Structures are given as structure tokens and as C-alpha cells.
Chains A and B, each alone.
Chain A
Amino acid sequence: MKKIVLLLSLLFVLTFQFESAFSQRFPKPEFENGHQQPPTLTPAPRASLMQWFDVFVLLASLSVASWLVIKKRSRRGVFWLSVFSLAYFGFYREGCICPVGSVQNIVLGMFHPGYVIPATVVLFFAMPLIFTLFFGRTFCAGVCPLGAMQDLVLYKPVNLKPWLQKALGLIPYIYLGLAVLYAATATDFIICRYDPFVGFFRFDATFSMFFLGGIFMLMSLFIGRPYCRFLCPYGVLLNLTSLVSRKHLTIAPTKCIQCRLCEDSCPFGAIEVPSPVKPAEMRETTVQRFLILTIIIPVLVFAGGFAGGRIHEKLASVHPKVELAQHLLNPEKEVTEEMRVNLDAFKTAGKPTKELFAEVAVILHDFYVGGWILGGFLGLVFGLSLANLSKFKYQPDYITNKGTCFSCARCVDYCPVKDENPILQKPQN
């Protein structure tokens, strides 16, 4: 019986093959007992409208953060806001979408017209920058879930030596440069891939992700916000914009009285200690330094660019197509199990090898140009930080470093100067 039906159905298929829009080996059966074929379930994704709600929450929390930092000068307020942000952007939204990663979407959108970028992503990228431009890094203080994660577990901050801090502070530039390079060449989104905290937000991740996150969490107990200070690529942009911010958190509400109480209050090393008054520099020394720097910086830029251009193949080798082409070019190369599947998949797809090589040539050229730009950029960063270090800055008061300060408002609580302090106020007649 079964065989007959099977045979009949096969016959049926063969006869009506050309009539049906799609060929099936076995036709859809007609049930005699009235059995209803269940619908195919395609669970819907989260509504698009919710994305706009996220934008609204971001705008609201940025406004509240700026108000708390600039107007209220309230550490407690910032603390509770960061708890909220951690809960909403972190654990509820599970770390996606975040402004830190949006850098890559923007870059991909710029270089690949085919990539349609959601408007909400552009807003997520731009809004914290604009707020920073006017109020300092209030985004870092109370809105960023990654920052909040580290800030809330900070138990016993250890002060790092200034030279170490300066040296490690260069890593974010490298990270940003690489992230932009890989996003521009549509290779990978490395910021998202190596996001150490997203695994905690989701309570689920691969072992390596948890491992990385665990290391950062352990470090965060003793080193204030290690990711923010020494890795965060978005922090680079915030740092630079914050330097020219219109308003910024100040330690003393009015005039600093140099009481030194705030000196050790900053766990992030962002308080600048007053410099002892130094005699004015000799004019010759200034000119000499200026001359040396005008030579050194272009040399560094060029050297960086040259080095970047030299290693462009290494940089490109993580691109899956480049990797594939490398294996096709030298078949003797040791093939991993994973690579074998890739090679098989490529062969079954039936794409001509020539086409792949042509594509890879374009990718390699992009990487060559990108390598030069990346190297030049890093050389410039290095040169400018040398210039910055060699310059003596006189400043009489305890102030926050506008670039590196996260506006967390911890120092505010240490300052004895009060706005309503009658002694400091102008005598009223």
C-alpha cells in the first residue's frame, strides 16, 4: 500500500512537475481525515518602534546626566542614573545597540553605499558626542552601561603612575584605528566582537567572552574603569570633543582654595594637580622644541604610514575572502578542519576562482591604503602626545582634565567649598 502510494505520488510529481511553481519530490498530501496543516511559525522580531524608544531613553538619560553633573553636582544622582542605565541599556537591551559599537556602523555606512544604516544608529552615535561637546563626558558618567558596569564594582582604586596611564592611554587610538579599518573594509566589527561585558548583559556568551569579561571585572575592582580608560574606542572621540566642551564638571563650585582634599579622590587619575610656579621658559628653548617637533611629527606620520602599508597583508589576512584566496593560491598550506569546510563550500557554490581573486585584489588594495592611513594616524597621535608631554602647562588650581574626566562627580563631594559659603561670597551691602 505504502509503496503504491509512493509510486503514485512520484508519478504525480513527474506529471505535474512543470505546472507547480516549485518542484517537490513528494507532493503535498490531501488528508482524508480533514487534518489541517499547521502554519509555519516565523516569530516576529522586536518592533522597530522600540528602537525609537531607545533613542528617547538615551536622549532623556543624557539630559538628566548633564543636569545632574553640571547643575546639581550630585554624585548620588549620577550613581543612581548609572544603575538605571546599566539596567536598561545593559541588562534589558542586552548591550545592543550602544554608541560605542555604532562607530563601526557609521564607518561601514560611509564606505559601503550598499549598507543601509538605520537612522536610530546614527542618532545613537551622534547624541553622546553632541552632549559631550556642551557638557563634558556626561555620557560616560551616567549613561554608558559598559562604564557603569565597571564603575559600580570599583572597590579599592589604585592610583596608576602617570607615565603608565599616558602610555596605556594610547591603546584606544590603536583600537579605534583598527576598528575603523576593519569596518571600512567590511571585514569585521571588532569592537562588538571583543566587547567584554556584553556576555554578562546576556547571561550567555562563549567561554572566551566570559573570560575576557571576567578579567576586566577583576581589574575593575582595583583599577578604575580599565576598559573606558585604556581601550574604549568611542572614548577617544569623547575625549577629544570634551576638550572643547562648553561647560564641564568643576571640582570646586566657585574658587579652588587648594586644600588638597580632592587630590586622591579621582579613581581615574583625571585630576590635575597645581603646578609649582616655574620661571618663564627661555625663548630659545621654545623655538628649539618647536623646530624639533615640526621635524619629528611628520617623520612619525610617514614612518607610521610606511609601517602600516608594509603590514597591510597581515592586517587583511583576517578577512575571510583573503584567507580563502590564500589557501587556494597555495594548496600545500596546512588546512584546518574549519578551512576545509570553507573551501568545500566555495567549490560547491561554483563561483569562478578568478572572480574571487579579483575581489581579493580590491580588498588588498583597500587594506594597503587603509594601512597607510592607519599608520599615519597612529604616528600623528604619538607625535602629538609627545608634543603635549614636552610642553609645560602652568595652572594654579586643582582642576579636572577635561579630556579624561568621566564627569562621575566623585571629587565634588570632597570639595569643602560651597556655593552658599558666606566667606567666599561677595560681601553684600
Chain B
Amino acid sequence: MEQHQEGNKIDRRKFLNSGIRATIVLGIGGLGFSLLKNLSAEELVWQLDASKCIQCGRCATSCIMTPSAVKCIHVYAMCGYCDLCGGFFRPETKQLTTAAENQLCPTSAIKRKFVEEPFFEYEIIENLCIGCGKCVKGCEAFGNGSLQLQVSHNLCKNCNQCAIARVCPADAFSRVPVKSPYLFKGFGNKKLVKPAEDDE
């Protein structure tokens, strides 16, 4: 008799447990279902909208990576190939030489190459760039604005919460589907920028 009762008790508990279990499964299912309408099969990545960027310099300091995963990317199609490059030279520079004291970049990450009179090509050395945006500011002030800060996606760890996005004063960061991770400014023609894998 006693044993029978005990058996009953355990059964009741089991029944209750499986009831709760079924509820939780249904709950998770329901949650998934309710999220279904704004569900995407694609991964999200962080994007820096270059047109919003104000080059405050926080990209260099706030990224969890050192150096930052935000780099200056040169949109050559927009570049005027100026001799007096606002992104390369300090404003008060007298001689247009590559001497360190003339350079705006704190890490000398911009390589100045002579192409032909009077054009010079400027190349960003990614390893050296810290994403401070000084050149971007200079280029925007005196040039075409072809130097732009972007999240370099081969370096970005794609944190769930981007540490730079949190402190960005211009609210330039957003989560976007992985298909179009870069957002340059200044030209409508997206063909000007080729994905890196295409040139290999």
C-alpha cells in the first residue's frame, strides 16, 4: 500500500516535470516562430558608414583589437593623385617630401609613390594603419575624400557588441547582412570598388 502511494507520487512529479518540459519546448518554439518574420539566414557584420564618420579618432582606441580593425581604405577611383595631398602632408608642411616630420600619419602607414608629373599615388599599408582617421580628415578637408575609414573584415572579430559602435559619436556603425559589409561615400557607382577576392 505504502509503496503504491510512493509510486503514485513519483508519477505525479514526473507528469508535472514533463508538462513543464513540454511548455518550455513550446515556448522556445513559439519564440523562434515569433522571430521568424525578422529572421535572416545570413550572418550580421559591423559596417562603418563613411558618410557619417567624423574622424573623432575613437576607432583607433576603442576597438578590442590592437591595432584597431578599422582601417583607412583608399578608394583609388576617387583619388585626384594630388602632389600636395591633404591626407599625406601636415597642413603647415613646406617641402613636399616624405620626411617623417612632414607626414600626417602617426605611423607612416601611407606610401607615396610617384606616378608621373604631377601625379602621386598613395597606398595605405594595412599593417601599419591604426585607424586614427587623421589622413581621412585631411583628405576630406583638402582633397576628394578618397581616404575613408572602414571596418576591415578580415581583421574584425565581429563582436556581438562592437566596442567602437558603443562610443561612436556619429552613430556611424550598424549591423548589416554579410553580403554588403562596406559602405563608402562620395560615389554612387559601386563598381568602382571590387571585392578583394576578385583580383586574385
Contact = CB atoms under 8 A, between A and B. Distances in A.
A202 B64 contact: yes
Interface string B155-172: 111111101001101100
A41 interface: yes
B102 interface: no
Contacts of A199: 64
A38 B34 contact: no
A427 interface: no
A345 interface: yes
A129 B64 CA distance: 30
Given A45-B158, A109-B35, A28 B78 contact: yes
B144 A26 contact: yes
Given A28-B77, A193-B161, A348 B21 contact: no
B54 A28 contact: no
B150 A42 contact: yes
A110 B35 contact: yes
Please indicate which of the listed interface residues B79, B117, B169 has the most CB atoms of chain A within 10 Å of its own CB. B169
B192 interface: yes
Contact size range, A: 35 or more
Contacts of A349: 52, 170
Nearest to A30: B119
Contacts of B88: none
A348 B53 CA distance: 11
Interface stretch (A112-120, A139-147, A410-418): A112-120
B160 A43 contact: no
Contacts of B77: 28, 37, 40
B187 A42 contact: no
Contacts of A320: 166
B181 A45 contact: yes
Given A24-B80, A105-B160, A244-B17, A31 B40 contact: no
B81 A29 contact: yes
Nearest to B158: A96
Contacts of B150: 42
Nearest to B185: A22
Given A51-B43, A118-B40, A118-B43, A345 B35 contact: no
B100 interface: no
Interface string A313-328: 0000000100000000
A192 B165 CA distance: 13
Most chain B CB within 10 A, of A39, A204, A344, is at A39
A236 B177 CA distance: 31
B54 A345 contact: yes
Nearest to A100: B160
Contacts of B106: none
A130 B28 contact: yes
Task: Give the most central of B66, B115, B160: most A CB within 10 Å.
Answer: B160
B64 A96 contact: no
A342 B169 CA distance: 5
Contact of A45 (B35, B54, B153): B153
Interface residues of B, number: 83
A27 B80 contact: yes
B143 interface: yes
A356 to B, nearest CB: 11
A365 interface: no
B182 interface: yes
Nearest to A42: B182
B6 interface: no
Contact of A204 (B18, B34, B64, B177): B64
Contacts of B4: none
A5 B84 CA distance: 13
B94 interface: no
Nearest to B39: A119
A222 B167 CA distance: 36
Interface in A23-70: 24-29, 31-33, 35, 37-46, 48, 51
Nearest to B151: A45
A149 B157 CA distance: 20
A21 B191 CA distance: 13
A307 interface: no
A96 B40 CA distance: 18
B158 to A, nearest CB: 6
A94 interface: yes
Interface in A86-119: 94, 96-97, 101-102, 104-106, 109-110, 113-119
The 10 closest A-B pairs by CB, nearest first: A26-B80, A189-B161, A345-B169, A43-B154, A45-B153, A22-B187, A342-B169, A192-B160, A244-B17, A244-B20
Interface of B: 17-18, 20-21, 24-25, 28, 31-32, 34-35, 37-45, 52, 54, 56, 58, 64-66, 73-83, 115-119, 121, 123, 126, 142-144, 150, 152-161, 163, 166-167, 169-170, 175, 177-178, 181-182, 184, 186-189, 192-199
